[in-house]
Amino acid sequence: MVLDGKIALITGAAKGIGQGITFALAKAGADVAIVDRDVEGLTETERLVEALGRRVLKIQTDVTRQEDVAKMVAKTVESFGQLDVAVNNAGVVGVCPIAEMSPEEWDRVHNVNLKAVFLCCQAQVIEMRRRKFGRIINLASMVGKVGMPGMTHYSASKFGVIGLTNALAKEVARDGITVNALCPGIVGTDMLIGPDGFATKNALPGESVADAWNRVQDTMMPQGEAQTVEDMGHAAVFLATAPHVVGQAIAVDGGYTL
Ligand SMILES: NC(=O)c1ccc[n+]([C@@H]2O[C@H](COP(=O)([O-])OP(=O)(O)OC[C@H]3O[C@@H](n4cnc5c(N)ncnc54)[C@H](O)[C@@H]3O)[C@@H](O)[C@H]2O)c1
């Protein structure tokens, strides 16, 4: 299998896209360190990986805390001896018109979506340089390529992830490390259809979340449908195994950003 003998670390792995990417990397042969601030939530992901016969290490981490992030990388290397693939996926969403947005709300989104990606990349690069090998995949978004009204903070954080990825890819290109961004379109996780999700917040008066979700897929997506966690898993396996794809922001968005 293409990732046999590789060790992958995935943040935000308790559910949603992080869980889907974890499953895909493990299915491709990797042993995995799964990371989330919600350690209880990692149990289902752990079960899925174990069923594939792969080794799995659960790590409770708040990726916004530098000390936690350093420990996350150290524990992975202590348990598995190396770190080959890192997927910086943990993220939070926010829907709020700019006139109503507090600086605290701006910071809440930026701390997880952008500052934490910096902290994770920093710790991962330091470790990966040791072995002159690494594949870093940062989760951005289609709205990191095309701005989304009502989500200025979220869009800005994802544009930032693409910028960080681009600059860092050049900085570490001679160290055997590739850095790329993966830009999902819309995937029916809690981020879209949970209580604070994008579709939920955009439901019309009297419209159910299910109907709002169908409307969002139909009106926003050229293909008329959402993408899946499996789509993101495929793309992550590709980026984890592509030695000469450097600094790209790969859209898996059904053509939204065409
Ligand atoms: N769902 C989509 O349509 C979509 C679209 C574009 C981009 N994305 C991006 O993909 C990534 C995953 O999104 P998702 O839809 O699976 O979200 P989700 O809300 O389903 O899962 C996010 C996970 O991140 C974890 N997390 C949040 N803050 C954390 C922190 N400080 N420390 C550790 N873990 C933390 C949560 O506990 C959760 O398990 C995010 O970066 C998101 O911005 C998602």
102 and 207 housed in the same domain: no
Sequence-ordered list of residues with C-beta below 8 angstroms from that of 93, at least 6 positions apart, any chain: 109, 151, 154, 191, 196, 197, 198
pLDDT at residue 108, rounded to an integer: 98
Give the model confidence (pLDDT) of 50-109 as tens digits: 999 999 999 999 999 999 999 999 999 999 999 999 999 999 999 999 999 999 999 999
Q: Is 89 in the pocket of ligand 1 (CB under 6 A)?
A: yes
Place of tokens 């879209």: 192
pLDDT at residue 44, rounded to an integer: 97
**CATH code for the domain of 40:** 3.40.50.720
Q: Does 2 map to a domain?
A: no
Q: Pocket of ligand 1, candidates 44, 58, 89: which has the most ligand atoms within 8 Å of its Cβ, to mutate?
A: 89
Q: How many independent structural domains does the chain possess? A: 2
pLDDT at residue 189, rounded to an integer: 98
64 and 159 housed in the same domain: yes
Distance of CA 111 to CAs 64, 115, 216, Å?
Answer: 6, 5, 27
225 confidence band (pLDDT: 50, 70, 90): very high
Q: Is 154 part of the annotated catalytic residue set?
A: yes
211 and 90 housed in the same domain: no
Average pLDDT over residues 204-224: 97
Q: Is 22 in the pocket of ligand 1 (CB under 6 A)?
A: no
Residues spanned by the domain of 32: 7-185+229-251
pLDDT at residue 35, rounded to an integer: 98
80, 154, 159, 238: the catalytic one is 154
pLDDT at residue 221, rounded to an integer: 98
41 and 124 housed in the same domain: yes
Q: Does 257 map to a domain?
A: no
Cα–Cα distance between 61 and 35 in angstroms, integer? 6
Atom of ligand 1 nearest to the CA of 16: 16
pLDDT at residue 218, rounded to an integer: 98
Q: Is 182 in the pocket of ligand 1 (CB under 6 A)?
A: no
Average pLDDT over residues 137-149: 98
Q: Does 32 map to a domain?
A: yes
Average pLDDT over residues 128-149: 98
29 confidence band (pLDDT: 50, 70, 90): very high
Q: Give me ligand 1 centre to Cα 111, in Å.
A: 13
The closest alpha carbon to 29, from 10, 52, 47, belongs to: 52
How much of the chain, in percent, has pLDDT values that exceed 90? 100
Q: Does 23 map to a domain?
A: yes
Cα–Cα distance between 197 and 200 in angstroms, integer? 5
pLDDT at residue 135, rounded to an integer: 99
Q: Is 196 in the pocket of ligand 1 (CB under 6 A)?
A: no
Give the model confidence (pLDDT) of 161-170 as tens digits: 999 999 999 9
Q: What is the mean pLDDT of the chain?
A: 98
| Alpha helices, DSSP H, located in 138-208 | 152-171, 190-193, 198-201
180 and 202 housed in the same domain: no
Average pLDDT over residues 181-205: 96
Q: Give me ligand 1 centre to Cα 12, in Å.
A: 6
181 and 216 housed in the same domain: no
DSSP string, 28-57: TT-EEEEEES-STTHHHHHHHHHHTT--EE
Q: Give me ligand 1 centre to Cα 174, in Å.
A: 30
Average pLDDT over residues 204-230: 97
